[in-house]
Amino acid sequence: MLKLTVIVILFISSVKSDGDDHDNGHSLFDKYDSDHNGVLGKSEFSTLFMGFDAWPEDHRVSEHEFVNGWTSRNSQLSEPGSVTLFFFRTDLDGDRVITQNDINTLFSMFDENGNTSVSRQEFCDAFSAMYYAIDKC
């Protein structure tokens, strides 16, 4: 089973490196599931959004940092104008910066069954609902 998983992962990465620019929620999920256990824990989930915090790292992600970070890291998911929309949808408390407070709220929205981890299915459901650019997930 583990062997099969490894083969699948290798297959996915070889497809990705083939210049397939049809990125989607699945590959985004895989990119941030850094321990490859098939779910996003709170810290992995936070990294997806808070990882855009540029120097000086103050744990606050401005619109500028978010748009720049998203565009350079997830270029395939960056339709013109949509990244700014992502920012406003992520800034759930409306103070125009992304902080851990926003991510905590967002995490509980994604974690539909409340088991403190976000499964691939939960991720896809919530992500396609919130960020329209992902049409296949």
- Shortest separation between residue 82's beta carbon and Ca ion, angstroms: 19
Give the span between the Cα atoms of 109 and 61, in whole angstroms.
20
Cβ proximity to Ca ion: between 34 and 75 the closer is 34
Cβ proximity to Ca ion: between 37 and 75 the closer is 37
Provide the residue type at 92 as one letter: L
Cα angle 89, 50, 97 (rounded to 5 degrees) comes to: 50
- Binding region for Ca ion (CB under 5 A): 33, 35, 37, 44, 91, 93, 95, 102, 111, 113, 115
Cβ proximity to Ca ion: between 44 and 65 the closer is 44
- Shortest separation between residue 4's beta carbon and Ca ion, angstroms: 19
Q: Other C-beta atoms within 10 Å of 6: how many? A: 11
Provide the residue type at 69 as one letter: G
- Please name every residue paired with 52 in a beta bridge, in sequence order, or none if there are none: none
- Shortest separation between residue 30's beta carbon and Ca ion, angstroms: 10
